Amino acid sequence: MNSATDSARPHDQIRPVEIECGYLESNPASVLYKSGKTIVLCTASVETNVPPWMEGRGKGWVTAEYNMLPGSTSPRKRRDRSGKVDGRTTEIQRLIGRSLRAIVDLHALGERSITVDCDVLQADGGTRTASITGGYIALSLAVSQLAAIPELDPPVDPTAVLRDSVAAISVGVIGEDVVLDLDYRLDSAADVDMNVIMTGSGRFIELQGTGEEATFDDVQLAELLRLGKIGIAELTKLQKAQLVTV
Amino acid sequence: MNSATDSARPHDQIRPVEIECGYLESNPASVLYKSGKTIVLCTASVETNVPPWMEGRGKGWVTAEYNMLPGSTSPRKRRDRSGKVDGRTTEIQRLIGRSLRAIVDLHALGERSITVDCDVLQADGGTRTASITGGYIALSLAVSQLAAIPELDPPVDPTAVLRDSVAAISVGVIGEDVVLDLDYRLDSAADVDMNVIMTGSGRFIELQGTGEEATFDDVQLAELLRLGKIGIAELTKLQKAQLVTV
Amino acid sequence: MNSATDSARPHDQIRPVEIECGYLESNPASVLYKSGKTIVLCTASVETNVPPWMEGRGKGWVTAEYNMLPGSTSPRKRRDRSGKVDGRTTEIQRLIGRSLRAIVDLHALGERSITVDCDVLQADGGTRTASITGGYIALSLAVSQLAAIPELDPPVDPTAVLRDSVAAISVGVIGEDVVLDLDYRLDSAADVDMNVIMTGSGRFIELQGTGEEATFDDVQLAELLRLGKIGIAELTKLQKAQLVTV
Amino acid sequence: MNSATDSARPHDQIRPVEIECGYLESNPASVLYKSGKTIVLCTASVETNVPPWMEGRGKGWVTAEYNMLPGSTSPRKRRDRSGKVDGRTTEIQRLIGRSLRAIVDLHALGERSITVDCDVLQADGGTRTASITGGYIALSLAVSQLAAIPELDPPVDPTAVLRDSVAAISVGVIGEDVVLDLDYRLDSAADVDMNVIMTGSGRFIELQGTGEEATFDDVQLAELLRLGKIGIAELTKLQKAQLVTV
Amino acid sequence: MNSATDSARPHDQIRPVEIECGYLESNPASVLYKSGKTIVLCTASVETNVPPWMEGRGKGWVTAEYNMLPGSTSPRKRRDRSGKVDGRTTEIQRLIGRSLRAIVDLHALGERSITVDCDVLQADGGTRTASITGGYIALSLAVSQLAAIPELDPPVDPTAVLRDSVAAISVGVIGEDVVLDLDYRLDSAADVDMNVIMTGSGRFIELQGTGEEATFDDVQLAELLRLGKIGIAELTKLQKAQLVTV
Amino acid sequence: MNSATDSARPHDQIRPVEIECGYLESNPASVLYKSGKTIVLCTASVETNVPPWMEGRGKGWVTAEYNMLPGSTSPRKRRDRSGKVDGRTTEIQRLIGRSLRAIVDLHALGERSITVDCDVLQADGGTRTASITGGYIALSLAVSQLAAIPELDPPVDPTAVLRDSVAAISVGVIGEDVVLDLDYRLDSAADVDMNVIMTGSGRFIELQGTGEEATFDDVQLAELLRLGKIGIAELTKLQKAQLVTV
């Protein structure tokens, strides 16, 4: 391994993860998700209707919003108050929404909406994958809450709504190395960056491999996918542990 | 005391306060400020220049931004992404900025800017006063950091920059009662709502007393001010305890 | 009295006021309000519905908009056409609206809306207090007009809708002096600036005392309030004179 | 003449005009211009620079802004605060600017900008032509003021800057009739509406003839132009009278 | 003729025109209109409803949008993505819409909307007149398509909907010359620029004559109109030829 | 192959492609690119500077903008004029820009910017991949033009600037089948959709595989990649043929 990736953490190991469910007293479906120094507050909010364009189809909707707090980076990140959400933010929140919907049976949810807000308190790389992994836990908590309301008509069956779990991790190529779970330092050094989003049962939901001013070949692709699967398996285990204890 | 204010907390006592300095590893001038269930993350960020309209005057600038996270309320609060910051938010962040500047010697700061971001993680009333009280601590930590940089030219003298401390609390009239530190339940019941912002040395910085569809008289005003001073004294003590230990 | 306040007008006297009711032929509820050189055109427009969020409650709504014409100041003030109403404007029009609503019985108004537009033709300090004092007259004229429509169902009883009158005046601390009714020259010199908004019957609606980079103590507060009450009493007399003759 | 145009005013006569120069004490180049019930406040503001795209060419710039106050119409007109100036407003203010520039020698003005603000206090048809006719007077007053500043370098020669005067009037086709100076009632009835903008010396600056869902022929065009010239001659006389007395 | 207009084309002759109907396979009412080097893609889209403010009147609506592609000019034209359509674009698309509506019987159209999009692929002067002339063809094709739908209730009679045809051409004054159909080079040299919009039967729809920093007299006006009519007659012939063959 | 993919075209064959270089007379670096019924006009515009944030680094910049014309779809697509470019558009144009930059040596380009505009005239699926494939040709033509300017300092060496070529194609999973080059009908039926972007030399630039409400496994991934490479090879051949003949 060359100097750019020379750190205590092995190249095939994810950062330490801490998950605090019910972080906000006012919303049990709130999760403070920490992956190394990256901290994301994920909250899932339920509404008893769907957006106008979905009404009357007997289906629900799951969407996500992503935001970095100004103090999450150094130098301070300016707030998105211009009326134009920047392109990166738009892409990330669309990705989070698609990833969560991939494992939800929207018919089983009924005509209800769940918005998963992912607010980054501290950013050290991997905020979008942390948002998906933590966002799934918040979503799952919200579905459980819905299921616990006795008078709901029709009632919500959480095992029908959530067909699987979802987790996400980044992998990258740095010089000659392929590395799992890029923090900010690694991400800055990476030539190729890939986000791997998979179900708990091991199927792909989304693959986004990008070389900004660089390219990659078949051999590197295979190694990126191999490491990604290792990370996903680890995160899936951590998610399950949390949701059992809730 | 009537039923609206009938709770465990006496009418002249503030909510329990918890203050966690250096909450974010990436920014020592970050404070997690909790007043009862209200939680505000205050971070102060320093820039080595001033806004264009202030350049060349040998003075610094202190400003604030305020925001409520979508998950901070129930039902979920929509994000300000329309390009129009709502009127309430604008008023609050202008108030926070003015309150902090009232105790800062901008000449002693030199041509530097400090932005204090107040992001509300959980809202249970009193978010603007919590932002001022917690924001002062973040500001104070940022000034101390500046003072610790040996090569700064001119150097920053924190006792010159911060001429005093600042804290804020709300008081209100509920039916016949005058009450200190309104949480959401009390605030909703209040006919008159006043924010008292004072220095640690007991001088007024700002008084904002408002009766929405209601009015108040001289006797009530006197009692509002009396309780406000009690709260400010208590908060000033808590701020000092934190800043000594830092 | 020091040089900053050294002018013909005593420190406890308001500027000369001129009020022209029915200034616009097309709208009898239009008032050209002059306080010294400050000129505000206040027009009240009635709509026979309420905003969507108030429908079906059997209550009306009163709101205000404030604007300075580009030619009202020197140098010329740029128009608010960016889609972002500036913070100062937002604060002022919210204040005017709250102040007027404080003396209106919205139930007695029925499901109707009154918008009071305050457009500043010439600005020489005190535009927000002039807007409130003149805006009340426009509002009162609009309510009288509504009451004069025989076929209204339910009919409008102006004495029920307007429970009191409202007037506003500024007071300030300049060096050692406390001064009533700040024109632009005085306002620029003031360390502390307070807007006093009261009913004709002598109760407080709103108090906004602000020290930008300054503070004030209990003695100064008492004198600020004393002078404010003198000004309010004078303005209330002038309002009554107008509304009797209409 | 048919019933739609049956009023006291002959079809070839303009409405009574009242012009009050120096209406605002703070800006001598302010004109309250009344044409019948239409009232426009025109103010000209001088800046000692030009827009960035004109810098360094040794030429000045003249531009205009047009706005209708909310209370100028019944029902109330909503303010342009959405960030999108409506198409009609944009067209009108571009027209006013072009019309004024047509008689200005921008080189003789030097690198200075004059903005003519036309704010409609009361609208009864013909607000754009009133804005041009009144705006010329405000512009002329501003140029005179510039000429009166002794230390200006280079000095401003008002007879060089203003090569001619400019006035504007509307004409229209109503059924079989061709009519001069359309007030709101006539404008609503008109099939074809033409704005005639001419110099004091009788040359065309702009012709805008429009049939919304209607058309016109050569004979009607000739009569529209004949009446327009009558109106322009009358307005030019009134402008000269004002500017002589100033 | 002086050097500015010294080219192969006589001053009273329009540029060569090419018209390709049905350019887009997905929309038969699409026209690629070329006038010299100016290329405009005009497409007419039908909706089976009208804007909310027109509902229930038994009338249809015709509107237009105009846009220049970034690559249509050199240097590249920035896209209108700021949320503020620039003033020139607004004026042009309002002009196109008015011109088309002038020959449409909106009652005969029924409660349907037709939007004519005019996207300029290459700009060499005269894009607005090309948009009107080409837009009429697209509109006509859309009406014919509507008429061909057997089950429409009520059916659309194209000869009732389109009362006439419409074409547009520019004319200008360059030095001492009056010239027909200004391309970019001529337009840049023109002191006065007039758009003539007429029906196929020879009536005026709109006349817009403008002198930016210049003026014109009666003799020039007469010659501008004479040349304009020559151009309109030629374009009307070309339109008819196309629509017969469709 | 099931009915959804039952068409004349085999599942491993791309649509017929037509490429017209120099489509606009005013810009030789303009390409009309047709893939089946999808038509994209790609134009590359060169500026002799870089965005402010890149100045002084001795590097150039390549960026792209993507837009669908309103008439490109049925029903008509509304224009992006709200000031908010929609999320899909933002994602696509960022993707095009990244893909082109991956094969450009920005240092060899020098401090110059190239903007590639991709305007979709007709949309039948695959507009983003057509934009990349056609955009590369426009970019290449622009670089050749730059290289042909003798006085450029430093001169541009096109073989140094363009290190490789780039092409893009979509592949998808429809039921049990994996299919190459999805037109609108196939795209609507696809459970999984992947965009494959590769260099002419066979390396990956970007992989974006997405299952909206669906997932895919390793076997499907392998087949998606196999078909994608077939398509890329075919497109690379067509690009080379064009650029040789230019």
Of D71, D79, D83, the CB nearest to C27: D71
- Model confidence at B150, pLDDT cuts 50, 70, 90, reads confident
Nearest CA in chain B to A73: B26
**Which chains have 3+ CB pairs within 8 A of D?**
C, E
* Cα distance between residue E211 and residue D101, in whole Å: 10
- Whole-structure pTM value: 0.88
Of E30, E71, E83, the CB nearest to F45: E71
**Minimal Cα distance from B196: which residue of C?**
C209
For residues E239-245, average pLDDT: 88
The residue in chain B having the minimum alpha-carbon distance to the alpha carbon of residue C102 is: B213
Is A26–B37 a contact, with Cβ atoms under 8 angstroms apart? yes
Per-residue pLDDT, averaged over E190-212, amounts to 95
Distance CA D165, CA B129 (A): 60
In chain B, what are the domains?
Answer: 15-242 (3.30.230.70)
Say whether E121 and F27 touch across the interface (CB within 8 A).
Answer: no
What is the average pLDDT across C121-142? 98
Interface residues of chain C, partner chain D, Cβ below 8 Å:
24-27, 30, 37, 39, 41, 43, 45, 47, 65, 67, 69-76, 79-85, 115, 117, 119, 121-122, 124
SS3 content of chain B, % helix, strand, coil (to 5): 35, 30, 35
In this structure, chain C runs to a length of 246
Q: Considering only alpha carbons, which residue of chain F is nearest residue E64?
A: F70
List of chain F residues whose C-beta atoms are within 8 Å of the C-beta of residue A219: none
Give the 3-state secondary structure percentages of chain D, helix then strand then coil, rounded to 5: 35, 30, 35
Q: Place D4 in a pLDDT band, splitting at 50, 70 and 90.
A: very low
C-alpha span between A66 and A92 (Å, rounded)? 7
Cβ <8 Å between F37 and E47: no
By DSSP bridging, strand A38-47 and strand A30-35 are antiparallel
d(CA C219, CA C234): 24
Question: Between D173 and A152, whose confidence is greater?
Answer: D173
Q: In what order do the strands lie in the sheet with D17-21?
A: D17-21, D30-35, D38-47, D113-122, D61-68
Residue A141 CA: distances (Å) to CA of A27, A41, B75, B222, E111: 10, 14, 17, 48, 50
Residue matched to tokens 């005026």: E204
Reported as a single tens digit per residue, the pLDDT across F146-190 is 998 888 877 889 999 999 999 999 999 999 999 999 999 999 999
pLDDT per residue as tens digits for the range B43-75: 999 998 898 888 889 999 999 999 999 999 999
Q: How far is B31 from chain C (nearest CA, A)?
A: 24
pLDDT at residue D181 greater than cutoff 80: yes
Structure-token pair, residue B122: 């959980």
* Mean pLDDT taken over chain A: 92
**Is the Cβ–Cβ distance between A94 and A20 less than 8 Å?**
no
Backbone torsion region of residue F181, taken as left when φ is above 0, otherwise alpha when ψ lies between -120 and 50, otherwise beta? left
For chain A, list residues whose CB is within 8 angstroms of any CB belonging to chain B.
24-27, 30, 37, 39, 41, 43, 45, 47, 65, 67, 69-76, 79-85, 115, 117, 119, 121-122, 124
Taking chain A, what is the end-to-end CA distance rounded to the nearest angstrom? 40
Report the candidate in E236, E230, E246, E244 with the shortest Cα–Cα distance to residue E14.
E230
| Interval A185-204 mean pLDDT | 96
Q: How confident is the model at residue D83 (pLDDT cuts 50, 70, 90)?
A: low
Q: What is the DSSP string of F135-177?
A: HHHHHHHHHHHHHT-TT-SSPP-HHHHB-S-EEEEEEEEETTE
pLDDT band at residue C7, thresholds of 50, 70 and 90?
low
pLDDT value for A4 = 44
B102: nearest CB among C203, C208, C211: C211
Residues of D within an 8 Å Cβ radius of C: 24-27, 30, 37, 39, 41, 43, 45, 47, 65, 67, 69-76, 79-85, 115, 117, 119, 121-122, 124
User: What is d(CA F103, CA A213) in angstroms, rounded to the nearest whole number?
Assistant: 7
Spatial neighbors of F76 by CB under 8 A, at least 6 apart, are E43, E45, E47, E115, E117, F70
Min Cα separation F25/chain A (Å)? 32
Secondary structure (DSSP) of C113-146: EEEEEEEEEE-SS-HHHHHHHHHHHHHHHHHHHH
What digits encode the pLDDT tens for the residues C234-243? 999 999 999 9
Chain F contact residues (CB < 8 Å to A): 83-85, 87, 90-91, 94, 98, 101-102, 104, 106, 164, 194, 199, 202-217, 221
Chain C residues touching D69 at Cβ < 8 A: 41, 43, 117, 119
User: What's the burial of C16, exposed, middle or buried (CB within 10 Å: 0-12/13-18/19+)?
Assistant: exposed
Binding residues of B for phosphate: 88, 126-128
Neighbouring subunits of A (3+ Cβ pairs under 8 A):
B, F
How much is the pLDDT for F27?
Answer: 93
DSSP annotation of F38: E
Question: Sheet harboring B17-21: ordered strands across?
Answer: B17-21, B30-35, B38-47, B113-122, B61-68
What mean pLDDT do residues B201-216 have?
A: 92
pLDDT (mean) for D17-27: 96
* Contact yes or no for D24 and C67 at CB 8 A: no
**Cα nearest neighbour of C203 on chain B:** B217
What are the Cα distances from residue D216, in Å, to C115, D238, E197, E202, F137?
42, 31, 11, 9, 51
Query: What are the residue ranges in chain F where pLDDT is below 70?
Result: 1-7, 81-84, 245-246
State how far the Cα of F219 lies from the Cα of F173, in Å rounded to an integer. Answer: 11
pLDDT score for C4: 44
Q: What's the rounded Cα separation, in Å, for the pair F110 and F61? A: 9
CA distances from F147 to A213, C143, F20, F48, F108 (A): 22, 76, 21, 13, 11
Contacts of E209 in chain D (CB under 8 A): 204, 206-208
Q: A226: nearest CA in chain F? A: F218
Q: pLDDT band at A82, cuts 50/70/90?
A: low
Chain C hits for B173, CB-CB cut-off 8 Å, are none
Place of tokens 């029903």: F75
Could D211 and E221 be called an inter-chain contact, meaning their C-beta atoms sit closer than 8 Å? no
Q: List CB contacts (< 8 A) between A85 and chain B.
A: 81
Q: Are E125 and E73 in contact (CB under 8 A)?
A: no
| Subunit partners of chain E (3 or more CB pairs within 8 A) | D, F
Give the integer Cα–Cα distance in Å for B208 and B203. Answer: 15
CA quadruple A71, A72, A78, A81: dihedral sign: negative
E75–F47: do the CB atoms touch at under 8 Å? yes
Q: Is A205–F213 a contact, with Cβ atoms under 8 angstroms apart?
A: no
pLDDT surpasses 80 at D80: no
Phi then psi for D90, rounded to 5 degrees? -60, -50
**Model confidence over C205-219: pLDDT tens digits?**
999 999 877 899 999
Q: Across chain A, how many H-helices and E-strands are there?
A: 6, 9
Q: State the nearest Cα–Cα gap between C134 and chain D, in angstroms.
A: 15
Q: Are E162 and E122 in contact (CB under 8 A)?
A: no
Of A90, A102, A214, the CB nearest to F102: A214
Sheet holding E113-122, edge to edge: E17-21, E30-35, E38-47, E113-122, E61-68
**For the complex shown, is ipTM > 0.90?**
yes
Q: Are A39 and A124 in contact (CB under 8 A)?
A: no
CA distances from D195 to A109, D126, D210, F10 (A): 62, 9, 9, 64
**Number of residues in chain D:** 246
Provide, as residue numbers in chain F, all residues whose Cβ is less than 8 Å from the Cβ of A132.
none
Contacts of C199 in chain B (CB under 8 A): 215
Contact A217 F204 (CB under 8 A): yes
Residue of F nearest to E75 (CA): F45
Whether C41 and D71 lie within 8 Å, measured CB to CB: yes
Least confident of B80-94, D17-31, E10-24, E85-99: B80-94
- C43 vs D71: CB contact, 8 Å cut-off? yes
Q: What's the average model confidence in pLDDT over E3-14? A: 75
Give the model's confidence band at A1: pLDDT under 50 very low, under 70 low, under 90 confident, else very high.
very low
Q: What is the pLDDT of residue B1?
A: 39
Q: Where are the alpha helices (DSSP H) in A76-183?
A: 87-101, 106-109, 127-147, 158-161
Query: What six digits make up the tokens of D213?
Result: 């869902």
B75 chain-A contacts, CB cut-off 8 A: 45, 47
Q: Are B44 and B115 in contact (CB under 8 A)?
A: yes
- Cα D200 from Cα D103, distance rounded (Å): 10
A117-144 burial, b at 16+ Cβ within 10 Å, e below that, comes to bbbbbbbbbbbbbbbbbbbbbbbbbbbb
D214 has a pLDDT exceeding 70: yes
Residue C215 known to bind ligand: no
